[in-house]
Structure formats: structure tokens, C-alpha cells
Amino acid sequence: MRNLELREFFMNSDDMLDEASEESFWRKFVRHKWLRKGILSAFIVASVLCGTSDIWADEKSKPRDLKEASYPELGLTTSGINLGYWHKRTGLRLSQYYLNRTRNKMMLNLGYKLSDNEKTQQSINLLAGRSVGSDPVTDYDYAYLGIAYGLNFSILGYRGFFFELGMAKVLQDNLGNLADDPFVPCANIGYIYRFTPKEKR
């Protein structure tokens, strides 16, 4: 009788493990599905807002073109402290934070301006870095290389609001938890102030 109970216990344990694995898989699938939708929606909204802002502006009220201007930038985002410099249309930015050995991030960003003025800046960026942390599904520690769209914009006259969205290829998975995810979404949201040159009078 006791052997039968032990056998049923181990059989039920296997079923519970299978259900847990299946639940984690679907939670992971849904999470990535919504992230993909969010990235697409953000691209559409950003393109519409930035594209129409200059179209409806009068010639006198249009901000001056800064695509060829050089200036530094400094900010705080979800990727940590951001320090960068734009030399005309090309820019380099370093983002980093370190809380502990299991939660830290470093990212190097090489950008190219698509548009730039006193109110907004749009860029296409190459990303390379390492991310260590955890989410509701699993822990992660990986190095990556990707591409993203960046937008620095103003709200109610206050400029410097920033977001960056894209996709990255996992180059090295140190924990082995991303075997089914060779590509991961990447996002960077926060505030980055551009020290643009003053207009000459």
C-alpha cells in the first residue's frame, strides 16, 4: 500500500512539473507577444507625431535644423545613467547602472541622426551591451547586439523626454535561459537632456 502511494506521489509530481513548464512557456509567449505589439504601436505613434509637427508649423515658427550641430547629452533612463556626445550626425552614448552582481546593465549606443531640431531628435541606433537581471519568468544574463529607433521629444515645452525601441540578437547567454529566444526586444525610456548650441544672433 505504501509503495502504491509513493508511486502516485511521484507521478503527480511529474504532472505538476509539466504543467509548470507549460505555464511558464505560455506566460513567456504572451509577454513577448505584447512587447512586440507595444514596439510596433510606439513606432507608428512616434512617426505620426514627429512627421506632422513640422508639416503644420509655419516657416517662421519652425525650429532650426540641428542635424549638423555637435553637442553633449546627459540623462537618466531605464538603462541607467546616460552620457553621450553627438558630432554632427553621428553620436556615441554610454548607458550603465549597477545595483548588485545579479542586477546590472551596460549598453553602448552608436547613433545616426534622422532629424534634429530644438524640440525633437530622431535617430537610428546600433546597440551593444550586457544585461543581467530577472523577470516574472526567468533570470537572465546575456550579451547582445541590436538596432533601435530613438526619439528625444518635448512635452508642453519641456524637452528631453526620451524613448528607444528595437530588437537585439543574443550573442552570449551565460545562464542558458534564452535558448528559445535568439532575439529579444530592447527598450530605453527616460530623460536625456541635449545641450544644443545657442542660436547665433
Report if residue 77 sits inside a domain.
yes
- Residue 42 has a pLDDT of 58
Greatest alpha-carbon span in the chain? 95
First to last CA, the chain: 95
Find cell 515658427 and name the residue.
61
- Residue 140 has a pLDDT of 86
Nearest to 175 by CA among 146, 135, 117: 135
Report if residue 138 sits inside a domain.
yes
Residue 55's pLDDT band (boundaries 50, 70, 90)? very low
Domain that residue 94 falls in: 27-194
- Residue 184 has a pLDDT of 87
Report if residue 13 sits inside a domain.
no
- Residue 69 has a pLDDT of 95
Give the pLDDT confidence of 149-199 residue by residue, as tens digits: 999 999 988 999 999 999 999 998 888 887 777 888 888 999 999 999 987
Give the pLDDT confidence of 77-93 residue by residue, as tens digits: 999 999 999 999 999 99
Question: Could you tell me which residues are beta bridge partners of residue 93?
Answer: 84, 109
Tell me: pLDDT of 135 over 70.
yes
How many residues in total does the chain contain? 201
Report if residue 22 sits inside a domain.
no
Query: What letter would DSSP give residue 37?
Result: H
Contact at 8 Å (CB) between 67 and 113? yes
Report if residue 18 sits inside a domain.
no
- Residue 164 has a pLDDT of 95
Report if residue 51 sits inside a domain.
yes
List of residues 6+ apart from 155 with CB closer than 8 A: 161
Report if residue 129 sits inside a domain.
yes
Report if residue 118 sits inside a domain.
yes
pTM attached to this predicted model = 0.70
Please report, for residues 64, 74, 152, 153, 183, the alpha-carbon distance to residue 85 in angstroms, rounded to integers and kept in the order given. Answer: 19, 9, 14, 17, 28
Give the pLDDT confidence of 14-33 residue by residue, as tens digits: 454 444 444 444 345 445 55
What's the number of domains the chain is made of? 1
Residue 123's pLDDT band (boundaries 50, 70, 90)? very high
